[in-house]
Structure 1
Amino acid sequence: MADDLLVEVLRAAREHGPSPALTDARGRTLTYRELSTKVLSTAHRLRSRGFEPGNRMLFSVRPGPDAIVLALGTVAAGGTVVFVDPGVGPELFASRTGLAGPGWAAAESLLYAASAPGPLRAIARRRGVLLPDYAALPLRHIRSGPWLPGVPLRAVSTRSLAAPVADLPLPDPAPDQDAVIVFTSGTTAAPKAVVHTRGSLAAALRALAVRCELGPGTRVHTDQMMLGLPALVAGAHWSMPPYGFAPSADPTALAAGLTGATHTFLVPTDLAAILDCGVALPQSLRQVLLGSAPVLPPLLKRAREALPDVEFLAVYGMTEILPVAIATGAEKIAHGGDLLGRPLPGVRARIAEDGELVVSGPNMCRGYLGEPPMTEHATGDLARLEDDRIVLTGRKKDMILRGKTNVYPGLYEPAIADLPGVAAAVMIGVPDEIGDERIVLAVVPLSDAAPGLADRVRAALPALIDAAALPDEVTVLRELPVSGRTRKVDRSALRELLAR
C-alpha cells in the first residue's frame, strides 16, 4: 500500500466498484464506484470555485456519507479539513479558528440557521449552547442539507459539488500534505491542534485494517472515522448509526443496527450498559473494539461470558498517534493489570527516566499547528515494558500528592475494580486547606452488591495495594460523572462532587 490516505481509499473504490461502501442511518447506500465519483467530482468543483492547494476548510458536518465525501474531496483538492466544535463557546471558537486560518467553512444548514440571530439562536442560548454566527464568518461557505433561513445565499451545497463529472483522474500521491487538523486541548489564549498528513493517516488506517482483518465481506458499524476509513481502504462495508446515537441509552436499537455487522466500536460504558440489559447482539459480530477510556478486566470478563464468540480488542492511542497498541480481552484478563499490549508494527515505544511512555512511528502526526515538527510524542501516561508489552501504571497529571508520597491511581484502580461486587473504581485526590490531598476512592457497585460494599472494599485494600496508597475514604456512587462524546470519566467533576 502507498502511504497516502486518499490514494488508498480511491484505489479501493476503483477495485470494488459495485460493492457497497457507505450506508447511512436511513439505509441509503453508496457503492464504491459512486463514492469515488463523488469525491473526485467534489474536488474538481472546489478547484473550479477557487479552492487552492493549502486552503483549510472549517468542518462542522455530522458524520455521514455527505461528510465523508466532502472531507475526502477537500483533501483531494489539496486542502486540509479543520475540525472545530462550534459548541465550545464563542471565545474559544474564535481563538481556534484564528489559529487555523481557514478560508472556507462547511456546516449543516441547521447549524447556520441555529447560529444566526433569531429565535433558534435564542432557544440554543437558553439551553446553554452559545453558537458563533457561522454565516457571519468572513469565509467561503458550503452547506450540507436544504437551504434554510440563516444560510448564506451564496453557500454551495454538498450535493451540487458531488454531482458526477466523468473520467476524472486519480490524484497523485502526496503523503506529506496536511489532511486533518484536530483541536485537542489548550486555553483561549493558547489553543492546541494536532496536524495529521495523508501519510500519517494512511499508516494508522493500514494498522487497524490489518489487525481487524477487514476486507470484502466484512461490515463495520460505527460513526468513528478511525474505524470506518480503514474499512473503506480494505474494501469492506461501512454502515453508520444515527448521529448522536448513544448505545447505552438504547441498547436494543444498537443491536438492531448491528444486524449483519462483523465489527463495531464501543466505549466501555456503552458495553457495560449492553451487558446490564441483556440485549442479544447478532451472531455475525466478530470483533468489538473498545477505547477512549480504560478497559478493565472485570468488564472484559463479563463481556467474554456473555459473548464468547466475539473478540474484544482494547485499543490504546491518542489523537497524536493512533493506534499505539492493541490488547485482546483474553490478554488483559490474564495479565490482571492495565496491559496495553505490544506496540503495533512500525510503532516505537520507550520509557523515559520519570516513567513516562514516549512513542513514535509512521502514524504519528506532523506535530501541533504552529509548532516545530514532532519527532516523538510524550503520552502523559506512566508505563513499564514487560517483554515488549506496554503496561500502564498511571497518569502523570492524575498523580495524587499526599504528604511526601506520590500516588498514581492507575497503578491501583484495575486491581480494586476486580474486587467482588465492584463494577468500577476511581481514586481522586481532594485538596485540603493546606494544599495536601486526601485520597478518596469512589466505587460503583454491581447491581446486587451495594449494601456493605464500602466496608468490604476497605477491608480488602490492605492486602491489595501499597500502604502508602490506602485511601482516606471509600464512598459508593451509583455512577461516575463522564464527559464528551467518548464519555470518559470526568475526574475534575468527580473531584468537585467528592469535595462537597
Structure 2
Amino acid sequence: MLDALTHTLRRHPERPAVLGATRTGAVRVKATCGELADLADRYTAALLARGVAAGGTVGIAVRPGPHALAVMLAVHRLGARAAVLDPGAGPDVLRARLTLARPELVVADAAAQAAAGWARPLAGPLRLALPDLAELGPVATVGPRLPGCAPALDGGARSVRLPRCVDEDRDAVIVFTSGTTARPRAVVHTRSSLAAGMATVAELVQPQAGRPVLGGTFFVLVPSLASGAPVAMPARCLPVLSRQLHRLAPQATYLTPPRLRELLADGGRFTGRVWTGSAPASTELLTRIKRAGADEAWGVYALTELFPAAAIEQADKAAFTGDGDLVGA
C-alpha cells in the first residue's frame, strides 16, 4: 500500500493531500499530493546522504502531519526501521524507548526540540516533552526550524540518485507499548504486517476518492491517501475541531472516545461514519454519536501488535445481550 500511495501521489500532484484548519474551522491545504511526494523524495536523499541504509533505525519525534508521513515514506523506501518516539510521552519514557530502539539518527520537528530546551516552561500546553537534545544522539530537524534546533534533515544535501524501494520483507516500524506495566516494550512491525494492517483498515473503511477523511494516525493517512481521499488533521482546540467537522463534512472521522465525549458535550455534530478506539467504546457513546448525525458509529478494538483486531457498529453492539462487551468480528 505504501508503494501504491507513492504512485497515487505522483498521478494527481495538484490534488490536496493533507488538510488543516484555521481558527474559524476553514479548510487550508497543508500539502498537495505532489508536494508530499517531493518531500518524501527529499527526505530519502537526505537520509541516504547521512548513511541511513537498509536495516538501520531512524527515530521519529515528529507530530502527525506531512513531514512525519514523508519521513516514514523515506525510511520505508530505504528499507530502514522507523522507531516512533512520541514527543508527548515524557522525558523518562522517551529515554527508555531510545535505550530499546538505539536509533542511529533522531528526526524531530522544531516544536519538540524547543520543548527540550529553551521553551520547556511553555511546552506543557502543547503536551510535548523531550529529554535534553544531547541525550538523543544525532538529531536532524524537519519542517520550519526555530532557534537552537538541530540542522535541517535536508539542509545542504546533494542531489543523489534515489534508490528503488526495498521490496523484501524486513523490520519496518517500532511502536512502543507499556501493556500492563510502566516499562515500555518495543513492538516491531515488519513490512508485511504493516501492509496487512493497513489493508484491513482499507477494506473496513473503504475510503472514497475526493471526499475528506478526518484523522491523524499513520493507519488513517496511508489507506485514505492511497485511495485518493484527502486527510484533515484534527484541530487540537475543541471549538475549532467542532467547526472543522461542520465545514468538512468528512466521509469518515477517527477520534478517541475522550475526544468524542468532549465534542458531544460541546454540541458537536457528525457526518458519514465515525470510528473510535484506543480506549473502550461503549454502546452508549456510539449511540450518542449516531444521534449527533453520524450515519454509522464504529468501535474498533486494536492491539499495538495487531491493528485492528476487531470492529463493531453501534446497531450490532446495542443488539448484543450476552455477557461481557462485544468487540465485533
Q: Provide closer, same or farther for how the CA distance between residues 79 and 251 of structure 1 changes in structure 2, counting only shifts above 3 A.
A: closer
- 1:270 equivalent to 2:256? Answer no
Return closer, same or farther for 1:239/1:301 CA change in 2, 3 Å cut-off.
closer
Shift of 1:25: 4.0
More helix by share: 2
Q: Distance in 2 between matches of 1:210 and 1:331?
A: 19
Deviation at 1:129, TM superposition (A): 7.9
Letter in 1 for 2:145: W
Give 1:329 shift.
Answer: 1.0
TM-score by structure 1 length? 0.57
For 1:331 and 1:188, locate their aligned partners in 2 and report how far apart those are by CA, in whole Å.
Answer: 33
User: Which one is further off, 325-334 or 72-81?
Assistant: 72-81
Helix, strand or coil for the counterpart of 2:326? Answer: strand
8 Å contact from structure 1 (residues 205, 233) kept in 2: no
| Residues 405-455 of structure 1, C-alpha deviations (whole Å, 9 max, x = no match) | xxxxxxxxxxxxxxxxxxxxxxxxxxxxxxxxxxxxxxxxxxxxxxxxxxx
Aligned letter for 2:291?
E
CA RMSD of aligned residues (A): 3.2
Does structure 2 retain, via aligned residues, the 8 Å contact 1:9–1:232? yes
1:261 aligns with 2:261: no
Code of the residue aligned with 2:131 in structure 1: it is: P
Runs of 4+ that moved beyond 6 A = 127-130, 186-189
Q: Do the aligned partners of residues 277 and 38 (structure 1) sit closer, same or farther apart at CA in structure 2, a change above 3 Å counting?
A: closer
2:148 aligns with: 150
Report matched runs for 1:100-499 at 5 Å. Answer: 100-116=101-117, 119-121=118-120, 131-139=130-138, 141-152=139-150, 155-157=151-153, 170-174=164-168, 176-185=169-178, 191-242=184-235, 245=236, 247=238, 252-256=242-246, 259-281=248-270, 285-307=271-293, 310-336=295-321, 338-342=325-329
- The residue identity in structure 2 corresponding to 1:68 is L
Change (3 A) 1:301 1:229: same
Q: Give SS of 2:327's match.
A: strand
Is residue 10–residue 170 contact of structure 1 (8 Å, CA) maintained in 2?
Answer: no
Alpha-carbon contact 1:40-1:76 (below 8 Å) kept: no
* Amino acid paired to 1:294: P
Change beyond 3 A, Cα 1:332–1:184: same
CA distance change for structure 1 residues 37 and 111 in 2, over 3 Å: closer, same or farther? closer
Residue identity matched to 2:243: A
C-alpha displacement at 1:305, in angstroms?
A: 2.9
Question: Which of 1 and 2 has greater Rg?
Answer: 1
Q: Is 2:36 the counterpart of 1:35?
A: yes
Q: Any conservation in 1 of the 2:283–2:314 contact (CA below 8 Å)?
A: yes
Alignment CA distance shift 1:313-1:255 (3 Å): same
Contact 2:201 / 2:308 at 8 angstroms: preserved in 1? yes
- Following superposition, the deviation at residue 189 of structure 1 comes to 9.9
Q: Would the aligned equivalents of 2:277 and 2:299 in 1 still touch at CA under 8 Å?
A: yes
For residues 285-307 of structure 1, the C-alpha deviation after alignment (integer angstroms, 9 at most, x for no partner) is 31110111222222223333332
> Could you tell me which residue of structure 2 aligns to residue 55 of structure 1?
56
| 8 Å contact from structure 2 (residues 212, 232) kept in 1 | yes
**Does the 8 Å contact 1:251/1:273 carry over to 2?**
no
Give a deviation string over 1:336-394, Cα, whole Å, max 9, x none: 4522111xxxxxxxxxxxxxxxxxxxxxxxxxxxxxxxxxxxxxxxxxxxxxxxxxxxx
1:160 shift after superposition: 6.8
The structure with the greater share of residues assigned to strand is 1
Aligned-residue offset at 1:333: 0.9
TM-score with structure 2 length normalisation? 0.84
Q: Secondary structure at the match of 1:156?
A: coil
Mapped contact 1:268–1:293 kept (Cα < 8 A): yes
Conserved? CA contact 2:58–2:82, under 8 Å: yes
Name the residue aligned to 1:474: none
C-alpha change, 1:28 and 1:87, in structure 2 (3 Å) is: closer
Q: Name the CA distance, whole Å, in 2 between partners of 1:108 and 1:101.
A: 19
Maintained 8 Å contact 1:23/1:238: yes
**Contact kept? 2:79, 2:166, Cα under 8 Å:** no
Amino acid at match of 2:257: P
CA deviation after TM superposition for structure 1 residue 214, in Å: 0.9
Q: Report which structure shows greater RCO (CA 8 Å, sep ≥6).
A: 2
Contact kept, 8 Å, 2:78 with 2:166, in 1: the verdict is: no
Mapped partners of 1:198, 1:90: distance in 2:
29
Aligned CA distance change for structure 1 residues 168 and 132 (closer, same or farther; 3 Å):
closer
Q: Which residue identity does 1:185 align to in structure 2?
A: S
Q: Which amino acid aligns with 1:323?
A: P
CA gap of 1:320–1:297, structure 2 versus 1, over 3 A, is same
Cα distance between partner residues in 1 of 2:136 and 2:40: 26
Percent same amino acid among aligned pairs? 34
Aligned in 2, Cα 1:246/1:96: closer, same or farther, shift over 3 Å?
same
Secondary structure of the residue aligned to 1:327 is strand
CA distance in 2, matches of 1:97, 1:202: 25
Deviation at 1:230, TM superposition (A): 1.2
Structure 2 counterpart of 1:314, which letter? G
For the 8 Å contact 2:15–2:32, the answer to whether it is kept is yes
Contact 2:45 2:160 survives alignment (8 Å): no
**Structure 1 unmatched ranges of 5 or more:** 343-500
Structure 1 residue 168, shift from structure 2 partner? 5.2
Number of the residue aligned with 1:72: 73
Looking at structure 2, the residues matched to 302 and 122 of structure 1 have their Cα atoms a distance apart, in angstroms, of 38
Q: Residue 57 of structure 1 contacts residue 79 of structure 1 at CA under 8 Å; is this kept in 2?
A: yes
Q: Structure 1 pair 70/237, CA: closer, same or farther in 2 (3 Å)? A: same
SS for the counterpart of 2:284 is helix
Aligned to 1:7: 3
Q: Which moved more, 1:182-191 or 1:261-270?
A: 182-191
Measured after TM superposition, the shift of residue 69 of structure 1 is 0.9
1:228 to partner: Cα distance: 1.9
SS in 2 for 1:51: coil
